[in-house]
Structure 1
Amino acid sequence: MLLAGDGLRLNVGLLDYTLVAIYFVFVLGIGYMARTQVASSLDFFLSGRRLPAWVTGIAFVSANLGAVEIMGMSANGAQIGISTFHYYWIGAVPAMVFLGLVMMPFYYGSKVRSVPEFMRRRFGTGAHLVNALSFAVAQVLIAGVNLFLLATVINAVLGWPRWVSLVVAAAVVLTYTALGGLSAAIYNEVLQFFVILAALVPLTVIGLIKVGGWSGLKEKVIDTRKGDGSVTATVSDQLHTWPGQALSGFESPVWSVVGIVFGLGFVLSFGYWTTNFVEVQRAMASDSMSAARRAPIIGAIPKMFIPFVVVVPGMICAAVVGDMIHLKNSGATSDYTYNDAILLMMRDILPNGLLGVAVAGLIASFMAGMAANVSAFNTVFSYDLWQQYVVKDREDSYYIRVGQVATVAAVILAIGTATIAAGYSNLMDYLQTLFGFFNAPLFATFLLGMFWKRMTPTAGWVGLVSGTGAAIGVFLLQETGVIDLPGQGMPFVAASAAFVVDIVVSVLVSAVTAPKPVSELHGLVYSVTDRSTLQGDEDPTAPWYSRPVPLGILVLVLVAALSLVFR
């Protein structure tokens, strides 16, 4: 057993502080330099659409490499084991490839500045306003998660009160995002991606060495338990990805597979990756249609390997770190939760120097996640709410100032919503619930509207509202005890209900309302858009790795192979 120290305070030395300080200097320096590239609102909100595919591809995955990945997924690894891999191989990679091959041509080709703006062109102002408002609320809530975890790390490292840590962490993100806009966020996300890997790879390797490798880890895994002593996941559950009852929350193996494939793999995954402007914004900043299509596919390559340096450390912690075993034992009490898995690993196994790299990596991950939320929020607020409904037809510099003010407001609001995140012992439950509320119905509306020209503007906003209401209804039924969906069952069911209700309501409403003229749907609906428009500037003679379709096929083959090996 690895020796557990007293509390989560890390034994940080001068070298560690120096490494963290150097990282912050680079972060703020990038923000200052990116400021010189901001000459228009397009520069501030979409980097002038001039970034190469490899930059936007890395930023695409780095923007998601925040609270969900580092703390949330390691917590799930500690609690339920390798079935957490489904969040990547079933719940991310296929949707990222679909986004690149099928949906990015519509986003990029239509020259919209945001996902809600695409909704306005396809469905009108009703669906646009619903989408813009719900997205803005979601980003503030999710930014609060990243900020809460960033403050937790600073608290663990320096011992500062959490409220002080919240303010300091928020100030750093605010500074470089307000200075350089999306370019500052993207360039920092590229830097942060490599800093995060430099932190997580040694943590995983050293942890595996200490437990005797993969075979040694499998021998040390024990049943995980809830606070009441009941079993959350058996040893067998933790060492196999299928049928994944501990992940889905369903006792039936059949329903568990259905829940993971449909609820997570289709509704939640496609709903998040294909319609979430936080991710899509990075691809939209690319310098060409081909680059925009390749960006999410390039991001999918590291995405499929990230669970090995995020989920596996959580499993190591749950198996061998004393505090986590104390947490899991029946009837035990502990000050720690599964969210502390990564910090416990860092505290107990990393020497000085490497500890500084790990701390910088964690801070980088949370800053990347929060900056992504904030930069997406300021774009939607400025373009889709303020310019569309409040103050129209002002000079370009005016909307840059609005975006900067919106950035400040988003960070202040995130400080408040961080207190909500503090109330969840496993943040994946909280985040998946939010995705079910906001992304699942949006994906249903997008899917139907993009492939069915008969869908009407009225159906667009009515379907969105109905789908969101269905997800909230499932949540309230669960919270009031009317239904009992353990584990991840509630987010999966809520998302599935939102998707189905949205589709049904949209079809019914479309049957009794008038559609838009076909002449207004070019570039917005697949059946009435020229193939040349969808392919854009793609060169059919370019090497296979420079073309979206061959690259996407390779990624799908690789992820299928990984799924078979770790079944």
Structure 2
Amino acid sequence: MSGDYSIYTGQKKTFTIPDYVLFSLTLAVSAGIGLFFAIKDRNNVNSKEFLFGGKDMYVLPVAMSLLVTFLSALTLLGTPAEMYNYTTMFWWLCLAFVCAMVLASVVFTPFFYNLQVTSVFQYLELRFSKPVRDLASLIYILQTSAYMSFVLYAPSLALNAVTGFDLWGSVSAVGIVVTLYTALGGMKAVLWANTFQALVIMAGLLAVLIQGSIVMGGFQNAWDIAGNRSRIYFHDFSFDPTTRHSFWSVVIGGSFFWTSLYGVNQAQVQKALSCPSVSKAQLAFFVSLPGLMLIVSLCCMIGIVMYAFYADCHPMAFNNLITNSDQLLPFFVMDILGHVPGLPGVFVSSLFSGSLSTISSSLNALGAIIPRDIIKPYCCPNISDKSITILSKVVVFIFGGVAIGLAVLVSQLGSVMQSAYSVYSILNGPLFGLFILGMFFPWANAWGALVGTVTSLAFMCWIGFCAFVNRVSTAKLSPVFTHGCNWSVTTTAMTVTTTLGTTTSGSSEMTTVAASSDPFIPMYKLSYLLYTPTAMAVLVIVALFVSLITGCRDPHTMDPRLICPLFDRLFPCMPEMILRPLRCGVNHNVDYRNKVYEKADELPEKIQPVDDNGVEMKPSRDAEAGDLKGGTINQGFEPIDARTSEPEEFVTHF
């Protein structure tokens, strides 16, 4: 390699005018998309259009948005750093993506699509009770607000440290732009802007990988260097749950985590519901899968090239060139691309495109949840659809400002990436467990759901807090060196150094913890990838136990649309004699639309009437004050005019 790089010349590269221009263009195009749809749909103001794109969106933009929503800047920065600091075990995550996408598309997407709810938390009220819905909504709002602030702040901090890119200028610019185009254009702006941002992310990652491979004399050479220094490692099949990244923790833990994101997360479900049919929503998931695997694989390959490039001059070990792993990739990019005007700007654009895609999807989800789950039930029960739409836009503006404000608070924390993933996983697990409980365990009741959620949340907060207090960390067992550095400094002679350990031939990772007499130390070492399945298991076990004590629900009396026939979905060709007992007593063959009931209070709980053609019904003006005695479930109802209003929520009978 020539001595053109900062590790040899002793000079950090900085942004040039072309870099700032390209970054500004990314923000301008994203804002322009929002403005375009705001003008185009200015005469069509309703919640269905704003929150679901009219439920007539094409497969491609939905697939691209599903692809990049949770591939934020944290992922784009963190995955290469993972390859650099540890080993390639994390690459098994691609297998977890396959499992998650199959489950999300085959099991969860048809379930929520058939319910036709605006907020996924409406389901929790239909299945359990209003307090359960409120608790879950509040957890999600807290989780999403915190995550947006991390996603907004982390890339700005990393770039500021290594390029001089203005920290709060970038935070403010990105926060304002994403808030504007999401509030103005709604779901259509989010989907098409995400499509553009997906292309920018691909371009940025490819530019870094190609140039990095050229500098290293080919990717194979970089692979060989990393392999010779214990970085290429795929065969850790340890069953120890404290192993940070074993095959089982990455594949099984990762499958649960990503299934929760693609199966029950409001942002992703809302996009699936924007498709005109279940089959197109499922197709969008499968179209996004190759792209998801490609982006993560590109990040892993960049991490390998990055390690090979710094194999003899670890920038964190020598003279504090950078202070933490969050800055490794930007430092590397400025080293290999800094001499080409504009290319660093492409990378920065890709990094912030990850932030834009995540924040816009999250804001759109909050715009659906808060008016429906918080404001309408408690403040304005008779609010019109037009007012709901306006309220959704106001919520987007408010929480865009909240994200910028919380970024200031996040700046006072330590490692933002570790904090982000820890907070998100701790809150995500109980939410996922709540949906699993409702969909697959018909005996569970509302008391079980409430107690299980609180217990699971408290348990995960305890583990996360104690892991932080006891300074649980993972040792990097492969050596790093500084003998190849040529930075001009007046320090002691450079020597070979290692970080927190020595080279071993066994497991690539180990977890260390400060000396403590706490007997629960082994629990604090739990791999963060197992947080979601652990929280889910705790919730389900506690909830079923409480339900047993307080009185289990009778599966025969439940609306079958509130219970997912898991084995029918996964194994539709299985004989009926096997499937029948696996349905746990829920009769999915009952047609509630034409069943006759003697009294209104004999109706199955919370059913949305539909006519013989499947068109949803609402109470007729002449029958709003009457009951349904002596007739079918559709008596006293009239079809909903889909052109003037969105489908009403399930009619609730208590």
Structure 1: 5+ residue stretches without partners: 223-233, 534-567
1: CA distance between counterparts of 2:534 and 2:269?
25
- Contact kept, 8 Å, 2:90 with 2:250, in 1: the verdict is no
Q: How has the CA–CA distance of structure 1 residues 280 and 72 changed in structure 2, closer, same or farther, with 3 Å as cutoff? A: farther
The alignment partner of 1:101 has SS state of: helix
Q: Which residue of 2 aligns with 1:551?
A: none
Q: Which residue of 2 aligns with 1:260?
A: 250
Q: How has the CA–CA distance of structure 1 residues 178 and 111 changed in structure 2, closer, same or farther, with 3 Å as cutoff? A: same
Aligned AA (1:42): K
Q: Which residue of 2 aligns with 1:102?
A: 107
Q: Which residue of 2 aligns with 1:288?
A: 277
**When the two structures are aligned, how many residues end up with a matched partner?**
514
Q: Which residue of 2 aligns with 1:508?
A: 545
Q: Which residue of 1 aligns with 2:19?
A: 16
Is residue 2:132 matched to residue 1:132?
Answer: no
Aligned AA (1:451): F
Is residue 2:27 matched to residue 1:27?
Answer: no
2: CA distance between counterparts of 1:532 and 1:357?
56
CA offset digits 1:368-394 (Å, max 9, x no partner): 111122211222112111122332111
Is residue 2:433 matched to residue 1:431?
Answer: no
2: CA distance between counterparts of 1:410 and 1:363?
19
Is residue 2:10 matched to residue 1:4?
Answer: no
Greater mean alpha carbon deviation, residues 486-495 or residues 465-474: 486-495
Give identity over the alignment, percent.
21
Q: In the TM superposition, what are the counterparts of 1:65-464 in structure 2 within 5 Å?
A: 65-90=71-96, 92-152=97-157, 155=160, 159=164, 161-221=166-226, 235-236=229-230, 238-243=231-236, 250=243, 256-266=246-256, 268-321=257-310, 325-328=314-317, 333-350=320-337, 351-419=340-408, 421-422=410-411, 427-464=416-453
The alignment partner of 1:455 has SS state of: coil
The alignment partner of 2:315 has SS state of: helix
Deviation at 1:403, TM superposition (A): 1.4
Q: How has the CA–CA distance of structure 1 residues 263 and 129 changed in structure 2, closer, same or farther, with 3 Å as cutoff? A: same
2: CA distance between counterparts of 1:467 and 1:376?
24
2: CA distance between counterparts of 1:74 and 1:442?
29
Deviation at 1:139, TM superposition (A): 0.6
1: CA distance between counterparts of 2:281 and 2:109?
7
1: CA distance between counterparts of 2:54 and 2:95?
33
Deviation at 1:8, TM superposition (A): 9.9
2: CA distance between counterparts of 1:166 and 1:74?
23
Greater mean alpha carbon deviation, residues 68-77 or residues 13-22: 13-22
CA offset digits 1:185-244 (Å, max 9, x no partner): 11100110011111111211111122132331133338xxxxxxxxxxx943x2123317
2: CA distance between counterparts of 1:300 and 1:290?
16
Greater mean alpha carbon deviation, residues 101-110 or residues 67-76: 67-76
CA offset digits 1:131-159 (Å, max 9, x no partner): 11000111111101111034337746984
Report which of the two structures shows the higher radius of gyration computed on alpha carbons. 2
1: CA distance between counterparts of 2:170 and 2:22?
19
- Contact kept, 8 Å, 1:68 with 1:427, in 2: the verdict is no
Q: How has the CA–CA distance of structure 1 residues 318 and 28 changed in structure 2, closer, same or farther, with 3 Å as cutoff? A: same
2: CA distance between counterparts of 1:523 and 1:53?
26
- Contact kept, 8 Å, 2:33 with 2:181, in 1: the verdict is yes
The alignment partner of 1:239 has SS state of: coil
The alignment partner of 1:502 has SS state of: helix
Relative to the length of structure 1, the TM-score reads: 0.82
Q: How has the CA–CA distance of structure 1 residues 258 and 27 changed in structure 2, closer, same or farther, with 3 Å as cutoff? A: closer
Aligned AA (1:445): L
1: CA distance between counterparts of 2:108 and 2:343?
41
1: CA distance between counterparts of 2:533 and 2:71?
25
1: CA distance between counterparts of 2:365 and 2:13?
33
CA offset digits 1:306-329 (Å, max 9, x no partner): 123212212322332489713147
2: CA distance between counterparts of 1:448 and 1:248?
24
2: CA distance between counterparts of 1:219 and 1:131?
48
Deviation at 1:408, TM superposition (A): 2.0
2: CA distance between counterparts of 1:404 and 1:323?
52
Q: How has the CA–CA distance of structure 1 residues 94 and 7 changed in structure 2, closer, same or farther, with 3 Å as cutoff? A: farther
2: CA distance between counterparts of 1:467 and 1:62?
29
Q: How has the CA–CA distance of structure 1 residues 248 and 531 changed in structure 2, closer, same or farther, with 3 Å as cutoff? A: farther
- Contact kept, 8 Å, 2:162 with 2:331, in 1: the verdict is no
Q: Which residue of 1 aligns with 2:536?
A: 499
- Contact kept, 8 Å, 2:430 with 2:536, in 1: the verdict is yes
2: CA distance between counterparts of 1:304 and 1:23?
24
- Contact kept, 8 Å, 2:162 with 2:327, in 1: the verdict is no
Q: How has the CA–CA distance of structure 1 residues 409 and 441 changed in structure 2, closer, same or farther, with 3 Å as cutoff? A: same
The alignment partner of 1:327 has SS state of: coil
Aligned AA (2:60): W
Structure having the higher helix fraction is 1
Q: Which residue of 1 aligns with 2:636?
A: none
- Contact kept, 8 Å, 1:72 with 1:427, in 2: the verdict is no
1: CA distance between counterparts of 2:33 and 2:11?
31
Aligned AA (1:259): S
Q: Which residue of 1 aligns with 2:571?
A: none
Deviation at 1:95, TM superposition (A): 0.9
Structure 2: 5+ residue stretches without partners: 471-517, 566-582, 593-654
- Contact kept, 8 Å, 1:474 with 1:493, in 2: the verdict is no
Deviation at 1:396, TM superposition (A): 1.6
Greater mean alpha carbon deviation, residues 299-308 or residues 437-446: 437-446
Aligned AA (2:99): P
Q: How has the CA–CA distance of structure 1 residues 298 and 324 changed in structure 2, closer, same or farther, with 3 Å as cutoff? A: farther
Q: How has the CA–CA distance of structure 1 residues 30 and 518 changed in structure 2, closer, same or farther, with 3 Å as cutoff? A: farther
Aligned AA (1:505): V
Aligned AA (1:47): G
The alignment partner of 2:276 has SS state of: coil
CA offset digits 1:8-54 (Å, max 9, x no partner): 97543343333333333321110011113352012111212111222
- The root-mean-square deviation of aligned C-alpha atoms, in Å, is 3.2
The alignment partner of 2:262 has SS state of: helix
1: CA distance between counterparts of 2:266 and 2:148?
14
- Contact kept, 8 Å, 1:3 with 1:322, in 2: the verdict is no
1: CA distance between counterparts of 2:71 and 2:314?
27
Q: Which residue of 1 aligns with 2:479?
A: none
